[in-house]
Amino acid sequence: MVCRWLLLGLAALGVAVAAIGNAAAQPSFGAEASRTIAAANALSARIRSYHSGPGRWTGATPPPPSYCVTMREGEAVMKELARLASRATLYRLPDLALALQTAGNRLSDELDEEEIINQAADIPYTVYPCPVPTSAYPARALVLPLVDQRMLTCRARANAAQTSFAARRTLVQQCLRG
C-alpha cells in the first residue's frame, strides 16, 4: 500500500514539474508565435500583390526586384508556422495552434497560387522560386485571371476539408492544376 502511495506521489510530482516547465516556456513561445503570425500575414499580403490588385506583376516586365526574396521568405515562414503549431499542440494551446494554422493557410494559398500562375505561364526558373530576371513573360497576363478565379473554389474546398499544412498545400495545388 505504501508503495502505491509513493508511486502516486512521484507521478503527481512529475506532472507538477512538467506543468511548471511548460508554463515557463509558454510566455516566450507566445511572443515568438505572435511575431511569426504577423510576418506570415505581411508576406501573404505582399505575395498577393504579385497576382492581385492594381500593382500586380502581369509579366510585361521582368519580375519585381523583391520577388525572389519574398517567395523564399514565404517558404521559410511556412516551415516556422508548422513548427510552432506543433509546439502549440504539444503545450495544449489549441487557440494558438489554430491561429498559427490560419496564418499558414493564408500564406500557403498565396504561395501556391503564385507557383501555379508561373507554371501555367511556362516561366523558366534559374533557381526556384526565382524566374529568369532578364525576361518579360506576357503569357502571365493571360493566366492571371484564370488561376485567380479558380483559386476561390480551391480555397473553399481546402477550408471545408480542414486539413493540415502539408495536406492543404497538396489539395490546393491539385485543385489549381485540375
- pLDDT, one tens digit per residue, over 70-96 is 999 999 999 999 999 999 999 999 999
Task: Tell me: pLDDT of 23 over 80.
Answer: no
pLDDT of residue 164: 76
pTM metric for this prediction: 0.80
Range of the domain at 156: 25-47+58-177
pLDDT value for 169? 85
Number of structural domains found in the chain: 1
Structural domain includes residue 7: no
**Residue 62 carries which DSSP code?**
S
| 117 in a structural domain | yes
pLDDT on residue 151: 92
The DSSP H or E segment spanning 127 is strand 125-127
The H or E element containing residue 131 is strand 130-131
What's the mean pLDDT in 105-120? 94
